[in-house]
Amino acid sequence: MPKHIRVVIVDDSALMRQILAEALGGDGAITVVGTARDPYEAREVIKTTNPDVVTLDVEMPRMDGLSFLEKIMTLRPMPVVMVSTLTKEGSDATIKALELGAVDYVAKPSAHPQGDAFAELRDQLVEKVKLAALARVGIRRPVPAHPNILPPPRLRTSSRFIAIGASTGGVERIRDILSVLPAECPPIVIAQHMGPSYVASFAQRLDKMSLPRVELATEGAKLLPGHIFIAPGDRHLAVVRDGGGYHCHLEDSPPVSGHRPSVDVLFHSVAKAAAGNAVGVILSGMGRDGASGMAAMRQAGAHTIGETESSCVVYGMPKCAKEAGGVVVELPLAQIPAEMLRAIDAIGERPRTN
């Protein structure tokens, strides 16, 4: 992270520019070096100030935030934190922004927050800007219009499944993985750090662009081939054995590793319920969530895959999982989908991993 983080704020509302500047200006490690009312002003401000991070509104005159973000990520990639409303339209736009390469997002307040509300916004914004400054941002990788779909596994069964955990950068990565999976893919459960106001839009967008069915996990939902379940944004997702198969279990227990849903909760439940009949994948993200759970999965005999530093936005969660002894193989993102399916086919053909 830069010793001192330089930020440009882009928002058509003068009040919102003031709120964000006040929130960021209170932190000694951050300086707001410029503001802009729209992308055309922002382009000039960015050229002259060369910021480390940009905060970007979604809805603006002359050019919307998504169009400007796409230009940024194509021509001059840099860390961007989106500022969006909590409406359905705002949620859809935020997920699209994360697919385009935005590092993170914050919810836009409806008025000037006071007291505890301002403190909460300030803490969240400062944390996400500092995280964005650490991010590895590269040229945007658009999904091909006709991706090369991988062949289905040899054995179509509910007794083997895949568990995926991700945080910062996960939206883009999960999209890329699911876009190449066959309709008859193994059951998949996913814990992605995301608020409840956004995760439904995430699942709906994935369902539209994927051959398998993608939906929010519900209590008791059975893990079946061709079905992918994503943890709700305010509950933990666990897997429970159900005869010869498995089903989803949702928990309202406190955050684990600082998160709900937590990747650790999911992975520990998989280790307990499925042992070697599962494949675990940990993708880009900040922090340690998933490290102990992936180690438990590997100890139980599961094949575990970590994303390499070279393809991560933030090499935090995969690094911690590797250091905890939880990663069997580390691969760049492009190789992970095929390895997932290969490992599912190999279950029963390989010795137990300890």
Per-residue model confidence as pLDDT tens digits over 262-271: 999 999 999 9
Per-residue model confidence as pLDDT tens digits over 140-183: 666 666 678 999 888 778 899 999 999 999 999 999 999 999 99
Look at residue 1 in the predicted model and tell me its pLDDT. 59
Closest residue by Cα to residue 278 from 253, 303, 305, 244 = 303
Write down the catalytic residue from 104, 158, 176, 193. Answer: 193
The mean predicted confidence, pLDDT, of the chain is 92
CB atoms within 10 A of CB 74: 13
| 333, pLDDT greater than 60 | yes
Per-residue model confidence as pLDDT tens digits over 91-123: 889 999 999 999 999 988 877 888 888 899 899
Find the angle CA(278)-CA(279)-CA(284) to the nearest 5 degrees. Answer: 140
Look at residue 353 in the predicted model and tell me its pLDDT. 44
CB atoms within 10 A of CB 7: 26
Per-residue model confidence as pLDDT tens digits over 259-311: 999 999 999 999 999 999 999 999 999 999 999 999 999 999 999 999 999 99
Catalytic site residue 176? no
- Cα distance between residue 118 and residue 227, in whole Å: 41
Round to the nearest angstrom and report the end-to-end CA distance of the chain.
36
Per-residue model confidence as pLDDT tens digits over 23-33: 999 888 999 99
| Per-residue tokens: 290 | 């998933």
Catalytic site residue 159? no
User: Quick one: average pLDDT of 191-205?
Assistant: 94
CB contact set of 86 (below 8 Å; sequence gap of 6+): 107, 108, 197
pTM here is 0.92
- Cα distance between residue 82 and residue 96, in whole Å: 11
CB contact set of 81 (below 8 Å; sequence gap of 6+): 53, 54, 55, 56, 102, 103, 104, 105, 106, 125, 128, 129, 132
Rg (CA), the chain: 20
| Measured CA distances, 75 to 78, 134, 139, 263, 278 (Å) | 10, 20, 8, 34, 40
Contact predicate 225/184, CB 8 Å: yes
| Per-residue tokens: 167 | 């945080």
User: Quick one: average pLDDT of 320-335?
Assistant: 97
Write down the catalytic residue from 91, 158, 167, 197. Answer: 167
Look at residue 86 in the predicted model and tell me its pLDDT. 67
Q: Do domains 5-134 and 161-346 have the same CATH topology?
A: yes
CA 283 to chain centre: 8
Tell which CATH architecture fits domain 161-346.
3-Layer(aba) Sandwich (3.40)
- Cα distance between residue 150 and residue 159, in whole Å: 21
Question: Which amino acid is present at 178?
Answer: L
CB contact set of 17 (below 8 Å; sequence gap of 6+): 9, 11, 35, 37
Look at residue 152 in the predicted model and tell me its pLDDT. 87
Peptide bond into 318 cis (omega under 30): no
Q: Which residues pair with 279 in a beta bridge?
A: 162, 303
Contact predicate 352/326, CB 8 Å: no
**CATH fourth-level superfamily of 5-134:** Response regulator (3.40.50.2300)
Write down the catalytic residue from 289, 292, 303, 311. Answer: 289
CB atoms within 10 A of CB 353: 14
- Cα distance between residue 164 and residue 180, in whole Å: 15
Residues, the chain, total? 354
Structural domain boundaries in the chain: 5-134, 161-346
- Cα distance between residue 11 and residue 233, in whole Å: 27
Catalytic site residue 167? yes
| Helix, strand, or coil (residue 136) | coil
DSSP 315: B
What share of residues in the chain are helix, strand, coil (percent, to 5)? 40, 20, 40
